[in-house]
Structure 1
């Protein structure tokens, strides 16, 4: 086959790969052909290599897209946690939660404790791991969720919003308890979390004990029903303990000071 024919064939392959949405083949076809010739691959082996690379890239892109769409405020991984510095109850339950079996079983997880103890970090880490394993995840603060529900009702698209909300494998509702709600907000939140109960998983992070939930829902009936629905067959994680975030901040400040002292010593040596 003439060189010109080979070039035309490669050009056609690239065009076909664009139409068929096969970006890995389009980008690396020349390199793959060279490797196939060098390693004396059979036609079957060559085709296997092309498809495997395309498949692997799609799997990886799918993970990244799910993480992006989930809306995490920051990328925090379970692997980054200093488990020994977490509250005792979190240490005891983290390995179980990390399996993500609670998502398979449609169970909820509630992290309750003061600010800075690692609630949102653990919740985000679980959410990112879920994205990596193919689950559809939404991360949203409770105040923002209520605002979106109200806006959807005002625009007469509440049911379509609710249908999307129900379909997430995992919803992480962060910061329950920092802001109280009016009656409409309480009812909307209760309705939409109830629709997921027993079928889809929800993670709640809150700074309030259950005894104080009536401070934000302002309705004892809704409060009791909300607690009953969320806690049924759920994992309750007591996050009371020293501030995990404060420890991280102190360590960071220590490193900055050490780096500053080192630079000062270097400057002194240069001056002398």
Structure 2
């Protein structure tokens, strides 16, 4: 028989919730008890409400963790896009990309065009949306990715790195074409993107047209093979247009009377 007074019981409940890692339960059990009394809820209904809040909090925390683990350089959401300022091809295809069917089907997305037109914003926006829908996502730049591959090879951990790379539902590789790389880097990039081809989705942003990819890979045969594998059943988005970033800056200056 429980003989503890209410204060002591409350303290023990809090201790138990800490031990069992039930933060929502700890936060809400008293307020939910008062509400249950006022609404004449059964004990089962009271317990259901508490457990529902705990599950909701854990799910929200899991989604936040997915976004954090994706390593986005900053957060950009699709809802923040001014669609009418995007290049025409992006406006046409954005609605379809938002469904994330390409992730489900393991298809790639290539966002190619001149700087400042919204490529990275769209890529990050799609990545965050994918995280919130339960997909495992990773963001990096192409130069950094190649550096990581080289380091993994030199440390003899390349196989482990590649296994982790394959497990992502969506990988976003930003800035292909801004910096050229040597033969080793080109081969490592080719190998790892080939591993994902047809199996998992990759979004690539680039300022170069496909005709100029050999400037980066410096090997016509590898360039042709890479282009073929990346573009097979992929969504190609022409991002050539006026600078979206410049329009955002002008708008911000106008709003702040600068």
Instruction: Map 1:24-39; keep pairs closer than 5 Å.
Output: 24-39=24-39
Matched, 1:218 2:239: no
Could you tell me how far apart the structure 2 residues matched to 1:20 and 1:136 are?
Answer: 27
Q: Which residue of 2 aligns with 1:69?
A: 69
Could you tell me how far apart the structure 2 residues matched to 1:41 and 1:3 are?
Answer: 25
Unaligned runs of 5+ in 1: 261-272
Could you tell me how far apart the structure 2 residues matched to 1:118 and 1:10 are?
Answer: 53
Matched, 1:143 2:146: no
Could you tell me how far apart the structure 1 residues matched to 2:8 and 2:101 are?
Answer: 52
Structure possessing the higher radius of gyration over alpha carbons: 1
**Residues 152, 158 of structure 2: 8 Å contact kept:** yes
Task: Tell me the TM-score normalised to structure 1 length.
Answer: 0.91
Q: Which residue of 1 aligns with 2:207?
A: 207
Q: Which residue of 1 aligns with 2:249?
A: 249
Deviation by residue 1:52-78 (Cα, 9 ceiling, x = unmatched): 101111111111111111111111110
Unaligned runs of 5+ in 2: none
Instruction: Map 1:33-182; keep pairs closer than 5 Å.
Output: 33-182=33-182
Moved more, 245-254 or 204-213: 245-254
Could you tell me how far apart the structure 1 residues matched to 2:171 and 2:46 are?
Answer: 42
Residue 11 (structure 1) shift: 2.6
Deviation by residue 1:18-51 (Cα, 9 ceiling, x = unmatched): 2221111122222222222222210110111011
Deviation by residue 1:164-207 (Cα, 9 ceiling, x = unmatched): 11100100000000000101101111111111111110000000
Moved more, 228-237 or 217-226: 217-226
Could you tell me how far apart the structure 2 residues matched to 1:21 and 1:29 are?
Answer: 14
Task: Tell me the TM-score normalised to structure 2 length.
Answer: 0.96
Moved more, 187-196 or 20-29: 20-29
Residue 2 (structure 1) shift: 8.8
Residue 3 (structure 1) shift: 8.8
Deviation by residue 1:140-178 (Cα, 9 ceiling, x = unmatched): 000000001111111111111111111001000000000
Could you tell me how far apart the structure 2 residues matched to 1:97 and 1:3 are?
Answer: 61
SS at match of 2:40: coil
Cα 1:34–1:190 shift into 2, 3 Å: same
